[in-house]
Amino acid sequence: MATAVFEREIEAFLSHLAAERNLSPHTLEHYGRDCRRFADWCAGQGITALDDIDSYRVRAALAQLHRQGLGGRSLARWLSALRTFFQFAIRHQWLAHNPALGVSAPKSPRKLPKTLDADSASHFVNLPGDDPLALRDRAMLELFYSSGLRLAELVGLDLVHLDLGEARVRVLGKGRKERDLPVGSHAIAALRAWLGVRPTLAASGCPALFVSQRGGRLSARGIQERFHRLSVGQGMASRIHPHMLRHSFASHLLESSGDLRAVQELLGHANLSTTQIYTHLDFQHLAKVYDSAHPRARKKSGRDREPGI
């Protein structure tokens, strides 16, 4: 149900977004819901004029939404919608300043990516079989794990991007930035085996390194479906996604080398802060080792307890 408070202004704002910014109906729905959520809060506080809104009231509404269970990302989106709405109101002289500026949402806890331990990763990529599809899939998995590729980077690989003599592959990453990556010995062996049978599947003139049964470039969706089937076939405890091998590559490399800058370069991260999430994964591993090995970390058994306790 639409609220009567600020409804005229919100409708004018949404019409502006639809006409001037050509936003999708889905995005417009989000803007409308976020603005009306704040308008409903204002109505409950007896606020009926836009120029009565200040940063204190925006923070109070934010705090209430947070108490009601909205997470950091939802609150950040809500604030973004309000800032845009208030800027529109300023242009129409309904407001003198933007009361949402300087108000920030609480940060959501950053979700750590799921990774495989080294033994599980090795088991998963070491596929059995010597038919063309098995050789293709083994080469694909080995390259994913060997070089830490993104899914889109692997899909875009052509034969000319691979240099087995130099043990490297050239990929086109985000922002269309190219980078050269080393290829490990297991991946090289798997790729050589695949290249030996690739002509039996590839259509004439197809430049793609990895092709489907129909002979064309293997799609991202096709690779994801293969991962699902291979997860079951390899007896993995859970479904493995392509990005999980990339995360595992980064985590294992950082755990062994401790060289965050090198891992950043290999992953193609523009900012070091993106790569730093793997330091948290590494700490989790260290914490488990500590808890299981350090004599002052292990929980006392009944016989270890001091007398009288």
Q: Which of 16, 59, 243, 285 is catalytic?
A: 243
Tens digits of residue pLDDT in 161-212: 999 999 989 988 877 788 888 888 999 999 999 999 999 999 999 999 999 9
Q: What is the pLDDT of residue 2?
A: 40
Catalytic site includes residue 246? yes
The percentage of residues in the chain with a pLDDT greater than 90, rounded to a whole number, is 50
Tens digits of residue pLDDT in 120-165: 889 999 999 999 999 999 999 999 888 888 899 999 999 999 999 9
Catalytic site includes residue 150? yes
In this prediction, residue 292 has a pLDDT band, given cuts at 50, 70 and 90, of low
Q: Which of 138, 198, 252, 278 is catalytic?
A: 278
pLDDT at 286 over 50: no
Catalytic site includes residue 114? no
Catalytic site includes residue 145? no
Q: What is the pLDDT of residue 305?
A: 42
Query: What is the pLDDT of the chain when averaged over all its residues?
Result: 83
Q: What is the pLDDT of residue 301?
A: 44
Q: What is the DSSP letter of 217?
A: B
Quick check: 206 and 218 in contact, CB under 8 A? no
Give every CB contact of residue 61 below 8 A, 6+ residues apart in sequence: 38, 41, 42
pLDDT at 277 over 70: no
Mean pLDDT across 279-300: 50
Q: Which of 174, 177, 214, 228 is catalytic?
A: 174
Mean pLDDT across 78-105: 92
Mean pLDDT across 82-107: 91
Mean pLDDT across 227-244: 90
Closest CA to 210 of 162, 268, 148: 162
Helix (H, G, I), strand (E, B) or coil at 170: strand
Helix and strand tally (H, E) in the chain? 13, 3
Mean pLDDT across 241-266: 78
In this prediction, residue 81 has a pLDDT band, given cuts at 50, 70 and 90, of very high
Give every CB contact of residue 13 below 8 A, 6+ residues apart in sequence: 31, 35, 84, 85, 88, 89
In this prediction, residue 263 has a pLDDT band, given cuts at 50, 70 and 90, of confident
Least confident segment among 8-12, 226-230, 295-299: 295-299
pLDDT at 112 over 80: no
Catalytic site includes residue 269? yes
CA atoms within 13 Å, Cβ hemisphere of 49: 6
Q: What is the pLDDT of residue 309?
A: 37
This prediction has a pTM of 0.56
Q: Which of 36, 198, 217, 246 is catalytic?
A: 246
Give ∠ CA 231-232-236 in degrees, rounded to 5.
60
Q: What is the pLDDT of residue 276?
A: 60
Least confident segment among 24-33, 52-61, 145-154, 299-308: 299-308
In this prediction, residue 224 has a pLDDT band, given cuts at 50, 70 and 90, of very high
Mean pLDDT across 268-292: 55
Which residues in 134-240 belong to E strands, given as ranges?
162-163, 168-172, 178-182
Catalytic site includes residue 243? yes
Closest CA to 196 of 122, 138, 127, 121: 138
Q: Which of 59, 83, 269, 285 is catalytic?
A: 269
pLDDT at 303 over 60: no
Q: What is the pLDDT of residue 304?
A: 44
